[in-house]
Amino acid sequence: MEIRLSQTCVFDTGLQIVSRGGIAIRLSYAEFCILEYLAQFLNQAVPMANIIQYMAARKTYIDAGSFYVYILRLRRRIEENSRAPRLLVTVGRGRYMLCAHGDVCDGDNTQ
């Protein structure tokens, strides 16, 4: 399944890649798991603990410190400006949201 995140960024869950500007970017398994889980709750804020628990169920074990590193790496891969994210956003404290292009992503939606 393809999820268009912006005009230039598409997440392909079948191939486990992100295409940005027509260039395919292979994701690590951990990066894929994070995006896959967030895509299930598109435009909804999800607690970090839920994402880590989902990853553990998929036999990928990380701690909070590693999680932040993966979020940074994902932002560098999918965002036009990783320092001002619009697609993979932090909502409040410890919640994350994957936003689809054209949808309002204001953080009021929670999972």
pTM: 0.88
Query: What value does the mean pLDDT of the chain take?
Result: 90
Alpha carbons 85 and 102: distance in angstroms, whole number: 15
Q: Which residues pair with 47 in a beta bridge?
A: 95
pLDDT confidence bin for 100, thresholds 50/70/90: confident
At 71, phi and psi to the nearest 5? -60, -45
Higher pLDDT, 108 or 100: 100
Q: Could you report the per-residue pLDDT of 14-62, keeping only the tens digit for each?
A: 999 999 999 999 999 999 999 999 999 999 999 999 999 999 999 999 9
Q: What is the CATH number of domain 2-98?
A: 1.10.10.10
C-alpha–C-alpha distance, residues 33 and 9, integer Å: 18
Per-domain residue ranges of the chain: 2-98
